[in-house]
Amino acid sequence: MRVSAICIAVLGQVLVANPAFAQQPDADAHTATAFCDFADSQEISVRYNNAPGKDDTHNGKVWLPGGKPLTLFVGAAVSLNNNPIPIGAYSVYVIPNRKEWTLIVNKNVTPGAAYDQTQDVARGPMELGEVDSPPGQLQVSFAHTADKTCSIRLYYGKVGAFAEFLEK
């Protein structure tokens, strides 16, 4: 009988507390995630801020879309431009120019930390293309292009930029 009373009390608290939690604003309203599974079910993913921002993508400087670097989660050893990237979490930056973009994988994942080039693990050129329907904010996706290849795709304005991660 005592166990039943405890269960009812706990259930009542959960039911009363649940609407309060639902009314809290979503701090990550502009956070999005993209995934890619390799043929052996290992995964690579990225979490990013897709809040609209000003178009500063042609300045040749390190770009933080939405004011934050992308966060890359690597579940299998991969490489970018023949540079090995071990399993772990990384910050991802982009250096955009009019004719070329560079993707940077950096081992410093401390929130709010300034970009430090000495922490770079890998850099790679990105192929560029033009999109027909420009998104209003950054969009990131992956394409599984081969058993051991996941292509990251960044779309911003009229630009589509692509780079490949190869599983080791």
Domain boundaries, the chain: 26-167
User: C-alpha 156: how far from its chain's center?
Assistant: 14
Written as one letter, the residue type at 134 is: P
SS3 11: helix
d(CA 121, CA 104): 8
d(CA 64, CA 139): 13
What pLDDT does 8 receive?
Answer: 38
Q: Where are the alpha helices (DSSP H) in 23-164?
A: none
Contacts of 59 (CB under 8 A, 6+ apart): 96, 97
d(CA 43, CA 47): 13
Residue 63 backbone zone (phi > 0: left; psi -120 to 50: alpha; other: beta)? beta
Tokens of residue 119, six digits: 């922490």
SS3 16: helix
User: One digit per residue, pLDDT tens: the chain, 168 residues?
Assistant: 444 443 333 333 333 333 333 333 344 567 899 999 999 999 999 999 887 766 566 688 998 877 889 999 999 999 999 999 999 999 999 999 888 999 999 999 999 899 999 999 999 999 999 998 888 788 999 999 999 999 999 998 889 999 999 999
Q: Whose CA is closest to 72, among 49, 97, 90? A: 90
**Which residues partner with 130 through β-bridges?**
159
pTM of the model: 0.80
